Amino acid sequence: MTYTAWIILTAALVGLSCGIVGVFLILRKTAMMADAISHTVLLGIVVAFIITREVSGPAMLIGGILAGLLTAFFVQWLHTLNVQHDASMGIVFTTLFAIGVILIATSVGNAHLDVQHALMGEITFIPFHTITIPIIGEIPEAAGLLLLVLVVVLFFIIAFYKEWKITSFDPALAASLGIPVLFMHYVFMGLVSITTVASFDAVGAIMVVAMLITPAAAAYLWTDKLLIMLVLSGTFGVVSSIVGYYIAAWIDTSISGSMAFATGLVFMVSFFFSPKHGLVSKYIRPSKVA
C-alpha cells in the first residue's frame, strides 16, 4: 500500500473507533471525561516508557488504561467528597497531565516522546514505524494497534450492548436489576482509554477529543435509534478523517488539525440540515407537541 493510503487508513481507523466509543460518552453525559482521559493517558504512556524504555504498543496500551482508570477513579472519589463533578475532573486531569509533562521534560527527554507530539500527533510519520504481522505482512504499528483496539471496542460494545444501553439510560433501574453500574462505568472508561492511546500517535491528545465527541454529537441529531446512531457516528468519524486529510493536503497544513476541523464541519451540517433536529427543518415544519 502507498504512503498516503496508510495514512488515510490509520486516520479512518481513528475515526471509526472514536466515533463508536463517542456515542456512549455523549449518551452517558460524560463527554468531558474524554478530554480528561485524553490528557492523562500521556502520564500512562510516559510511565510505560520509563519502565520499558521503548515506545511499544502493548506497554503504552496498558499504561494508558491504568492512567485512564486512575483518572476515572480519582474523579469519582473527589466527587464523593463533595467536590463538584466538573471541578474534580478539572483538578484530576490537569494534575496528572502536568506530572506527565514534567516526567517528559526531566526523565524521558529524548526524540521518541515530546509534548508537541503528544498534543498534536504526527500522522505523517506513521507509515515509517512498521511491524510485521503473520499473514497480513508489514503494516504501520499505529494502524495495527488501532485495528486491535477497534476489535476490542467492537467486542465490548456488541457483547454488552443491552447493558450499555440500560446503564446509560437508567442507571437506577440497571442497578436494581443487579447490573454492576459502577463496574460498567470503569470498563467504559477503560475503552475510552485504549481508544485514546491508540489514536494518540496519529492525532494527539487534543484532537482525539474532537474525534470522540463531535461525530457522536452530530449523529445524535440525525436519528432516534441507538444502533443507527452508532453506525452514523462511526461513518462520520471515517468521513471526517478522510476529508480532513484532503483538506490538509490541499492547503498544506496539519493533518490532525484538519481532521478535527472536518468533524466540526460535519457537526455544523448536521446542526443545520438534519431532518429531525436541524435548525432548517424546525423552521420549515415546527415540531408537533405530542
Partner 1 sequence: MAKTLIEVENLSASYRKNTVLHNVNFEVKPGTLTGIVGPNGAGKSTLIKTMLNLHPALTGKVSFFGLPFPKVKKRIGYVPQRGSVDWDFPTDALDVVTMGLYGQIGWLKKTKEKHRKQALSALEKMGMKDYADRQISQLSGGQQQRVFLARALVQNADIYFMDEPLAGVDAATEQAIMTILKELKSIGKTVMVVHHDLQTVENYFDHVLLLNRTVLHHGKTERVFTKENVADAYGGNMRWMGGERQYELHSFK
Cell of 21: 466509543
Picking from 132, 151, 130, the residue whose alpha carbon sits closest to that of residue 141 is 130
Candidate residues 17, 223, 258, 263; the one interacting with partner 1 per rule CB under 8 A:
223
Longest CA span, the chain: 62
DSSP reduced 3-state for 67: helix
According to the binding rule CB under 8 A, does residue 168 interact with partner 1? yes
Smallest separation (angstroms) from partner 1 to the CB of 189:
20
According to the binding rule CB under 8 A, does residue 286 interact with partner 1? no
DSSP reduced 3-state for 278: coil
What's the distance, CA 252 to chain centroid?
25
According to the binding rule CB under 8 A, does residue 185 interact with partner 1? no
> In Å, how far are 3, 149, 151, 209, 214 from 31, measured between CA atoms?
33, 20, 22, 9, 10
According to the binding rule CB under 8 A, does residue 29 interact with partner 1? yes
DSSP string across 123-167: GGGGGGSEEEETTTEEEEHHHHHHHHHHHHHHHHHHHTHHHHHHH
According to the binding rule CB under 8 A, does residue 79 interact with partner 1? no
Q: Which stretch binds partner 1 (CB under 8 A): 120-128, 172-180, 209-217, 266-274?
A: 172-180
Q: Which stretch binds partner 1 (CB under 8 A): 63-71, 126-134, 165-173, 202-210?
A: 165-173
Q: Which stretch binds partner 1 (CB under 8 A): 94-102, 120-128, 175-183, 187-195?
A: 175-183
User: Site residues for partner 1, window 131-160 (CB under 8 A)?
Assistant: 159-160
Identify the bridge partners of residue 130 per DSSP, sorted by sequence position: 140
Candidate residues 95, 163, 271, 281; the one interacting with partner 1 per rule CB under 8 A:
163
According to the binding rule CB under 8 A, does residue 110 interact with partner 1? no
According to the binding rule CB under 8 A, does residue 246 interact with partner 1? no
Q: Residues, the chain, total?
A: 290
- Binding positions for partner 1, rule: CB under 8 A: 27, 29, 82, 159-160, 162-163, 165-166, 168-170, 172-179, 220, 223-226, 228-229, 290
